Amino acid sequence: MKSSYQVKLHSCSNGLQICAVSFPGIKSASLRCSVFVGSAYETPANNGISHFLEHMIFRGNEKLGSSTQLSLKMEEMGGELNAVTSFDLTEFWLDFHIRYLEKGIQRFCEFLHYPLFERVEIERGIIIEEILADYNNDNQLIDLDSITAKGVWPDHPMGMPVIGNRNTIESITVADLKRWYQEYYQPGNMIIGITGDFDIDNTIAKLENQFSKTPLTRRKSYNAVSNNDSCVNQIQLTYDKDNQFGIEWAFPAYPLTADLRIQYQILRRILDDGSSSRLQKFIREDKGLVYDISAESLFFESGVLFSIHCYVGLNKLHELVNVLSNLLKDIIDNGITQDELDLAKLRFQLSLDCNHDNTHGILYETISPLIYPNLCSFKEISDKMEKVTTTSLNQTFKGLFQHKNSCFSLVGPWTEENKKRLEQQLSDWIT
């Protein structure tokens, strides 16, 4: 596959970017559209409108019919149509059989071009049901990611939930949705990707023709977060009648470069990538404090939010916080070992190689640097990764975990005694 595929990037006169990857011999085709819009572009008054609009794109179409008819037209090509909205991007994708290439291109583009905005109240009700999953019976927000984001960025759109809240969703009108669509679903604010067994120039021409009637537009952007958007309430406690505590301990860091992105990914693997990684070995395997614990890194244009997630029994909360705190302090004081670094590099490289062995992975590799300026090709990542040393990685680790701008979020039946003990235990991590 590596020797036979062909990649071509094309910029249209109206600002649309097209990425085509031709694979001779494969039977499937895949179309992807990335739109630069999400909750980071919103205001407190219309929070959730990007996600709401994503739902409405599926809710009937001038060319393809009702939502059921639209789905049928994709499924009769062997297709599966789906979408997701994040804080900075809305993505749509269609996988289908290559024999329907021309029809698939036409229908996917019609799907993007001609939403009807019908049956809005039904979709509004579905989204409100989705929102309710993030709240308990006392109408308290219990979604840890949302609580943490609000704590880390209390005065920035990055702190707002992607899905919005009940008040904003109930107030968004059809006119609001149409205005949001007209502002953001423009060619200069979109990237189209396609893979399959096709003539690459002919396929690009077909896609470009689908957008030929749209005028020149430019890519949108949102106000970047920085150290100035710092956490005010660094210990976030939400009461919930449960038999466990949910915990998310987050560490924001700025700025973000291509080299730092790779180092953060390696750090994440050293903490959580297999049973021998630090969190799994010391928290789960040796101490038996949790059933599952994970480390995650949320990258955005100006930085990263590095976080640790777990659920712990009521009588193990403070032991867990002590062990976790001591684990991070040990790495700060004594550093990461060469063996840990070598293993993390090996597993990182394996994931890159696995991605490079499939069509979706190569399309992702090609499109991602167009979306995020600090993302590199797989080859560039491999080259940069090999240059990472224990010295440079330990310095990055200290910069991430030693500063006092972390946010500790907890959901569960906490008491004032829990609060006092947590403030003492976390005193080295908060201002």
Question: Is 220 a domain residue?
Answer: no
Last residue in a domain, options 151, 175, 210: 210
Question: Is 217 a domain residue?
Answer: no
pLDDT of residue 164: 95
* Average pLDDT of the segment spanning 113-125: 95
pLDDT of residue 362: 87
Q: Kindly report, residue by residue over 382-408, the tens digit of the pLDDT.
A: 999 999 999 999 999 999 998 788 999
The whole-model pTM stands at: 0.94
Eight-class DSSP state of 283: I
Nearest to 104 by CA among 128, 133, 80, 135: 80
pLDDT of residue 229: 66
191 and 278: one domain? Answer: no
13 and 108: one domain? Answer: yes
What domain range includes position 419? 235-425
Q: How far is Cα 357 from Cα 353, in angstroms, rounded to an integer?
A: 6
Label residue 225 exposed, middle or buried (CB < 10 Å: 0-12, 13-18, 19+).
Answer: buried
DSSP state letters, 200-235: HHHHHHHHHHHTTTSPP------PPP-TTS--SS-E
Going by pLDDT thresholds of 50, 70 and 90, the confidence category of residue 256 is very high
pLDDT over 90 at 359, yes or no: no
Percent of the chain with pLDDT over 90: 84
* Average pLDDT of the segment spanning 252-267: 95
pLDDT over 90 at 308, yes or no: yes
CATH number at residue 311: 3.30.830.10
Q: How far is Cα 268 from Cα 217, in angstroms, rounded to an integer?
A: 38
132 and 259: one domain? Answer: no
Into how many domains does the chain fold? 2
Q: How far is Cα 246 from Cα 374, in angstroms, rounded to an integer?
A: 32
Q: How far is Cα 59 from Cα 49, in angstroms, rounded to an integer?
A: 15
332 and 196: one domain? Answer: no
192 and 244: one domain? Answer: no
Mean residue pLDDT across the chain? 94
Question: Is 172 a domain residue?
Answer: yes
319 and 415: one domain? Answer: yes
pLDDT of residue 5: 87
pLDDT over 50 at 1, yes or no: no
Question: Is 256 a domain residue?
Answer: yes
pLDDT of residue 2: 46
